[in-house]
Amino acid sequence: MAAVTSRSRIEVRAARPGEGKRIAALWRELWILHEGWGGYASSHDDRVFDRLALRLDEDARVRADYPVLGRHVHLVATVNGEIAGQVEGWFDRHGFDPVTPATCEVRSLVVSSLMRKVGVGEALLDALAKVARDLARGARVVLVAEVLEPNPAHTFYARMGFSPISWSAFVSSRFRASAGSEFSARRARPGDALAIAMLEGPLAERRRAAGDARFDLPHAVDATLVGAIAAHLGRSIRDPLDPTEIVTVDPQGAVRGTASFGATSLDPPFSPTRRAVLARFAVDPAIPPSMLIAPLVELAAELARSAGAPGIELVDLSAPHTPLFRATISVGARPWSRIVQREAE
């Protein structure tokens, strides 16, 4: 391999057929690192990565030298003609207001351990930002990335202008709350729609206070919003993997907190397992979160066990020094990751 220096030539482009094996090797390198940082286990079966290489080659043929397919972006970087890194992006909108920017989620950013510190990661992010701006057609767009807490890439993202906007924790699905709490949790019902709509305001304000630009500002609570939430809550749940809303209620049955639960199957190159997520924590600001979070997590743990998930990611949390985050730690959760964001300039 040619020597890699600060003057090496870096090119970022779409992947091409025949490069799947090298890109799959990068994925393997990344997934094994994630496993070492406490993330989900990676497969160590060569056949899994051989199949991944074939899928990457077929994907490159379909894209025909264009990095965008639907809302998915895939870019590779070469140094002196050799594959040195890759990144994926997922372009989406999480809000309806015209002022809410589009989001491009940075996924699977990896640079070969043999080709670091020459600007490959920066070049990949800059190219992804340009593609995202093109997809946004002149509208504002932000890049966001999830970084596991032990991942040393925090320094890299900070240097690239990213700032943390949201945090997550991880708790075992064996969790059970201590007895004696006056609050309890249950699945949400259509009759809870107004209370849930009222809690959307504090959630939106908390996100914006943290600098999270991905979501809308607080909406006025009106009959249309309440009706839409009620219709969503009225649908039937037939599968343990179906998303569901859960609520914490006080002794009088009034809704004081809510969160969204969902579970999915992780695909290779992860080892086969289920991932459970509890998101969109919205709690009554008049009640300490420590009183409301444990019942939500206990019910989520029950749902996670039914779905076959070993643990639950508690996501969309405020900063570690805040009462909401401390409430998740008090139930035995450990810090898991954070979301970092920057403008796609």
Domain match, 92 and 210 both: no
Report how many domains make up the chain.
2
Q: What pLDDT was estimated at residue 7?
A: 53
Residues 142-178 have pLDDT tens digits of 999 999 999 999 999 999 999 999 999 999 999 998 8
What percent of the chain is modeled with pLDDT above 70?
98
Last-in-domain residue among 161, 190, 214: 161
The answer to whether 31 touches 44, Cβ cutoff 8 Å, is no
With respect to residue 286, please indicate whether it lies within any of the assigned structural domains.
Answer: yes
The single residue listed with the structure tokens 């199957």 is 265
Q: DSSP code of 99?
A: T
Domain match, 214 and 277 both: yes
Domain match, 113 and 27 both: yes
Last-in-domain residue among 143, 161, 179: 161
The answer to whether 331 touches 177, Cβ cutoff 8 Å, is yes
pTM: 0.93
How far apart, in whole angstroms, are the C-alpha atoms of residue 133 and residue 137? Answer: 6
Q: Which DSSP string do the residues of 174-186 spell out, in sequence order?
A: T--PPTT-S-EEE
Domain match, 332 and 191 both: yes
How far apart, in whole angstroms, are the C-alpha atoms of residue 166 and residue 142? Answer: 14
Domain match, 34 and 142 both: yes
The answer to whether 2 touches 83, Cβ cutoff 8 Å, is no
The CATH number covering residue 81 comes to 3.40.630.30
How far apart, in whole angstroms, are the C-alpha atoms of residue 282 and residue 289? Answer: 9
Last-in-domain residue among 129, 161, 193: 161
Measured on CA atoms in the order 37, 39, 45, 46, is the torsion positive or negative?
negative
Distances (CA, A) of 301 to 100, 193, 279: 33, 23, 13
Average pLDDT, the chain: 93
Q: Is the pLDDT confidence value at 4 over 80?
A: no
Residues 10-25 have pLDDT tens digits of 999 999 999 999 999 9
Mean pLDDT confidence for 40-63: 96
Domain match, 131 and 226 both: no
With respect to residue 90, please indicate whether it lies within any of the assigned structural domains.
Answer: yes
Residues 299-329 have pLDDT tens digits of 999 999 999 999 999 999 999 999 999 999 9
Q: Where are the beta strands (DSSP E) in 100-216?
A: 102-111, 141-148, 163-172, 184-187
Beta strand pairing status for 72-79 and 68-69?
antiparallel
Domain match, 154 and 184 both: no
Domain match, 94 and 191 both: no
With respect to residue 5, please indicate whether it lies within any of the assigned structural domains.
Answer: no
Residues 72-122 have pLDDT tens digits of 999 999 999 999 999 999 999 988 888 999 999 999 999 998 888 889 999
Domain match, 155 and 185 both: no
Ranges 71-80, 223-232, 253-262: which has the least confidence: 223-232
B/e letters for 221-253, b = 16+ CB within 10 Å, e = fewer, are beeebbeebbeebeeeeeebbeebbbbbbbeee
Domain match, 295 and 231 both: yes
With respect to residue 3, please indicate whether it lies within any of the assigned structural domains.
Answer: no
Domain match, 314 and 173 both: yes
Mean pLDDT confidence for 41-66: 96
Q: Is the pLDDT confidence value at 34 over 80?
A: yes
Q: What are phi and psi of 321, to 5 degrees?
A: -85, 0
Domain match, 198 and 115 both: no
Domain that holds residue 325: 169-338
Confidence band of 335 (pLDDT split at 50, 70, 90): very high
Q: Is the pLDDT confidence value at 217 over 50?
A: yes
Q: Is the pLDDT confidence value at 44 over 50?
A: yes
> Which one, of 17, 13, 47, 14, lies nearest residue 269 by Cα?
47
Taking each helix axis from N to C terminus, what angle separates 289-307 and 323-330, rounded to the nearest 10 degrees? 50
> Which one, of 174, 173, 153, lies nearest residue 162 by Cα?
153
With respect to residue 26, please indicate whether it lies within any of the assigned structural domains.
Answer: yes
> Which one, of 108, 117, 134, lies nearest residue 5 by Cα?
117
Measured on CA atoms in the order 231, 234, 239, 244, is the torsion positive or negative?
positive
